[in-house]
Amino acid sequence: MRDFESAPSLTKQRRRFDDEQTFQKRSARDGGHRLPDADAAYAVYEAEQLGGADRWSTWRDSSPLQRGPEPYPDWLPLDDAAVDTELGILKTGKEADVYLIERSVPGTDRAVVLAAKRYRNTKHRLFNRDSTYLEGRQVRESRDNRAMAKRTAVGMQMIAAQWADAEFTALRHLYELGVAVPYPVQIVGTEVLQEFIGDHATRTAAPRLAQVRADSDELRDLWEQLVAGVSLLARAGFAHGDLSAYNILVDDGRLVIIDLPQIVDVVANPKGREFLARDAHNVAGWFAARGLDVSGEDLTRELIADANIR
């Protein structure tokens, strides 16, 4: 399990490959005015280097296992000189907020908009329903398990890190399996950086399935995409855990599943069947209400068979 550090804030961070740049403190006076000390001088220097961005790219702060699967996509700047600029908040939630981040290489046209999901600190977190999701996710140290069960400050921080790590790991694994999920760029602390699904030119997120108005043919196509996605999940031994029309995006006709921190191992979790059934009934009910001849019971049976649960 990773160290339970908080998500990186968008403050000016020291550029690693410029560590050799030093500023000597000077006590001399010039014209009766004290010269800036080393910290102030470096702050000015770094602000100039960042060129208005909020931080250096955090790519080098993550290890290979904390990055998305290779080959890395061509649209992702991996340069040491890349910087991150916060564009604003995209979505607020009980456990985490999602921000828009532009990662770019100054002096070039290389830039991409990313979604940064940041789990909140322990004073604001409201993981009220996490106990059933966390079954089967026990950590090795019994004292850590006790801290999480008692919701101590340390335990809550562990839970936050566990949720962030669970989401990133799920995205990474499911992306490799071919499930339609955002590409997981990296995880640093409790910030999960991932592909932004939507219009990059206007920085407008793709609509949720609940917002889509589609004709019967389009509904059928979306349903088939969804069944294919959740079947892949089930065959890998997982259920989304909270699937609904509100955490599925439709990007120019392509269905993308999001919000996976509560992903459930349906074999290890004693309530695995229940999670599969709930996911199936939630999405089937939405499509059925719009005139599509589908059944939550039928989809549940398919998913249980795909997961090979006896």
Looking at the chain, the number of H-run helices and the number of E-run strands are 7, 14
Confidence of residue 39 (pLDDT cuts 50, 70, 90): low
Closest residue by Cα to residue 66 from 21, 7, 113: 7
pLDDT score of 222: 98
Residue 69: per-residue pLDDT:
96
What does the pLDDT look like over 188-220, one tens digit per residue? 988 999 999 999 999 999 999 999 999 999 999
Mean pLDDT on 124-153: 50
Model confidence, pTM:
0.77
DSSP per-residue string spanning 227-295: HHHHHHHHHTTEE-SS-STTSEEEETTEEEE---TT-EETTTSTTHHHHHHHHHHHHHHHHHHTT----
Q: What was the pLDDT predicted at 155?
A: 55
Q: Sorting pLDDT into bands at 50, 70 and 90, what band is 42?
A: low
pLDDT of res. 46: 60
- Is residue 224 predicted with pLDDT exceeding 60? yes
Residue 188 forms beta bridges with which residues?
Answer: 191
User: Omega before 36 cis (within 30°)?
Assistant: no
Q: With cut-offs at 50, 70 and 90, classify the pLDDT of residue 24.
A: very low
Q: How far apart are the first and last CA of the chain?
A: 31
Q: Which domains does the chain have, with CATH numbers?
A: 16-199 (3.30.200.20), 206-307 (1.10.510.10)
Average pLDDT over residues 30-42: 56
